[in-house]
Structure 1
Amino acid sequence: MKCQICGKTTQYGNSVSHSKRHTKRRWLPNVHRTTMVIDGRKTKVNICT
Structure 2
Amino acid sequence: MSNVCAICGKGVSTGMKVSHSHIRTKRTWKPNLQRVRAVVNGTPTHLRVCTRCLRSGKVQRAV
Report the TM range for the smaller structure's normalisation. over 0.9
The amino acid that maps onto 1:30 is N
Deviation at 1:33, TM superposition (A): 0.9
Structure 1 position 15 matched with structure 2 position 17 = yes
Of the candidates 4, 14, 29, which is equivalent to residue 2 of structure 1?
4
Mapped to 2, the partners of 1:39 and 1:13 lie a distance apart of 37
Question: What is the CA–CA distance in structure 1 between the aligned matches of 2:27 and 2:41, rounded to whole Å?
Answer: 39
**Greater strand share, structure number:** 1
Alignment of 1:1-49 (within 5 A): 1-49=3-51
Larger relative CO (CA 8 A, sep 6+): 1 or 2?
1
Q: Secondary structure at the match of 1:24?
A: strand
Aligned letter for 2:44?
K
Q: What's the TM-score once normalised by structure 1's chain length?
A: 0.93
TM-score (normalizing by structure 2): 0.74
Q: CA RMSD in A?
A: 0.6
Helix, strand or coil: the match of 2:31? coil
In proportion to residue count, which structure has more helix?
Answer: 2
Percent identity over the alignment is: 45
